[in-house]
Amino acid sequence: MAGIDPTSRIRADGFDRVAPDLVERARALSAATVHEAGGKIGVMPPQIKPVHPHFRVCGPALTVHSPPGDNLWLHHAICAARPGDVLVVHCNGAFDHGYWGEVMSTAAKARGLGGLVIDGGVRDYLLLGEVGFPVFARGQCIRGTGKDRDAIGWINAPLLFGSLVVHPGDLVIGDNDGVVIVPQARAGEVILASERRDADELAICARLMAGETTLDIYGLR
């Protein structure tokens, strides 16, 4: 059987990605700062963590709706993505599979992609660190996946994680605190607010070192 034609479910263009200059500015910001400065927005499931502590991700989202227990659509996504894109993957709640490993990290790195954020398991933890392609995942699992050509998936359609909707082209920022999503249309505004928040916090820390208290600075008495 030939299976489903994947090109009918891959949206390669027709949406805006967050601008490259905004991505570069966002690289200097923490996920927590962006979340707070944007009005407590965009938190991905907190179980999703960097596979290695030094991993950090920042770039426009390429969204992947993957069938449960199957990773064929992730292979399609690696080929469909542009350099710098971050794959954001929904696995239909089937967390306990190793959807990603050394070979796929190597393929994504070779194509210049920005990272992977997956609400599911990955494997080859030590090797993922050696490859150096940023991977954020719900956990570690060796259980293999299928590659069913008849299984239905999508690339670059909106994804729902709890109450959070992720659209293709949104800004993805991830570090040791977690992953935050900023709507593409708000990226400039939120990055500017985040930069100001960082400057304000530096000034607050200087005041604390000079002897003031958080109760006084924040008017909490």
DSSP labels, 151-209: S--EESS-EEETTEEE-TT-EEEEETTEEEEE-GGGHHHHHHHHHHHHHHHHHHHHHHH
d(CA 15, CA 220): 45
CA-nearest of 115, 107, 112, 52 to 76 is 107
154 near 9, Cβ under 8 Å? Answer: yes
Residue that has been written with the tokens 């190793």 in this structure: 98
| Residue 1 assigned to a binding site | no
| Residue 103 assigned to a binding site | yes
| Residue 39 assigned to a binding site | no
108 near 135, Cβ under 8 Å? Answer: no
Distance of CA 183 to the CA centre of its chain: 13
* Token pair listed for 150: 């008849």
80 near 95, Cβ under 8 Å? Answer: no
| Residue 124 assigned to a binding site | yes
Helix (H, G, I), strand (E, B) or coil at 63: strand
- Contacts for 48 with CB less than 8 Å, ≥ 6 apart: 117, 118, 119, 136, 137, 138, 174, 178, 179
Binding site membership for substrate: which residues? 101-104, 123
Residues in the annotated binding site for Mg(2+): 124
Q: Could you list the residues known to form a binding site, using ranges.
A: 101-104, 123-124
